[in-house]
Structure 1
Amino acid sequence: MIAQGQKIPAASLTQLGEQGLNHFTTDELFANKKVVLFAVPGAFTPTCSAAHLPGFVVLREEFAAKGVDEVMCVSVNDAFVMKAWGESQNAERIRMLADGDASFTKALGLDKDTGDFGGVRSTRYAMVVDNGVVTQLFVEEDKQFEVSKAEHVLANL
């Protein structure tokens, strides 16, 4: 599993924009800025939709006030699902990224097999990434939602 002080691994993530699918390398996403990245096991799932994403939506301006350039959400879903979920959650200030084949999640060592729930998914986590290096990492225990909450991450900045 990735640890504090390590560089984000090279990978590609996808976002659906106005002109179609956009593919971004992790270098493009994390270079020369401070980013809060959080991951959910699945878009439109109960905890993710009721609490995880909404917390970051509500506190987005407070993250900016603490020097965070961008807040990103990633899930092992496709870009179409991530866009629809973001729109349904009024998350226009959160970059909704798809890790469709779980390659980024696996490279981080934060993947888990959920069986018939959805197969390979992401562990729930949040991290602070400064110029491509993880400076803080908050990984949830299975079936927990405490340390990756927006409020907890914000309090630790």
Structure 2
Amino acid sequence: MIAIGQPLPAGEFTFITDEGRQTLDTRALFAGKKVVLFAVPGAFTPTCSNAHLPGYVVLADEFTARGIDALYCLSVNDAFVMKAWRDAQGAQAITMLADGDASWTRALGLEKETGAFGGVRAQRFALIAEDGVVRALRVEAPGKFEVSDAASLLTLV
């Protein structure tokens, strides 16, 4: 599992925007920036939709005021699902990172097997990275939502 002080792994993410499909690599997303990255097991799932993502939507301006350059939400879903979820949640202030094949989640060492629920998914976690290096990391215990929420992470900024 990735640890504090380690660089984030290289990878690419596809986004669906009003202008169409685009791809950005981790260098473009993280280099020279202080970012918050939080991961959810799945878009449109109960805790993710009712608490995890909405908390970051509500506190987005506060993160920005405290020097965070970008908020990223990671899920093992495709780019179309992530765009639809962003739009449904009014989460335009958050960049949705679709890790469709879980390759980046695996590179972080933060994957979990959910079986019939959806196969390999991301563990629920949140981190702060500066210039692509992890400065803080909060990983939830299985089935919990206590340390990766927006209010908890805001205390680390």
SS of the residue 1:53 aligns to: helix
Counterpart of 1:33 in structure 2 is 33
Task: Give unpaired runs (5+ residues) of structure 1.
Answer: none
SS in 2 for 1:15: strand
Is 1:63–2:63 an aligned residue pair?
Answer: yes
> 1:77-92 alignment to 2 at 5 Å?
77-92=77-92
**Partner in structure 2 of residue 135 of structure 1:** 135
| 8 Å Cα contact 1:13-1:104 kept in structure 2 | no
Q: Give me the TM-score of the superposition, normalised by structure 2.
A: 0.98
CA RMSD of aligned residues (A): 0.6
Amino-acid identity (%): 59
Deviation at 1:12, TM superposition (A): 1.0
Residue of structure 2 in register with 1:52 after alignment: 52
Instruction: Return the alpha-carbon distance in structure 1 between the equivalents of residues 61 and 23 of structure 2.
Output: 26
Amino acid at match of 2:84: A
Deviation readout 1:80-125 (Å, 9 max, x if unpaired) = 0000000010001000110011110000000011000000000000
* 1:59 alignment partner, SS class: helix
Q: What aligned pairs does 1:87-102 form with structure 2 within 5 A after superposition? A: 87-102=87-102
Secondary structure at 1:67 match in 2: coil
Q: C-alpha distance in 2, partners of 1:93/1:78?
A: 19
Query: Does the alignment pair 1:117 with 2:117?
Result: yes
One-letter amino acid of the counterpart of residue 20, structure 1: G
**Is 2:126 the partner of 1:126?**
yes
Find the aligned partners of 2:15 and 2:144 in 1 and give their Cα distance. Answer: 27
Alignment partners' CA distance in 2, 1:103 and 1:14: 13
Offset at residue 152 of structure 1 (A): 0.1
Structure 2: tracts of 5 or more residues without a match:
none
TM-superposed deviation, 1:19: 2.1
| Aligned positions, number | 157
- 4+ residue runs of structure 1 moved beyond 3 angstroms? none
Alignment-mate amino acid for residue 86 of structure 1: R
Tell me the CA shift for residue 28 of structure 1. Answer: 1.0
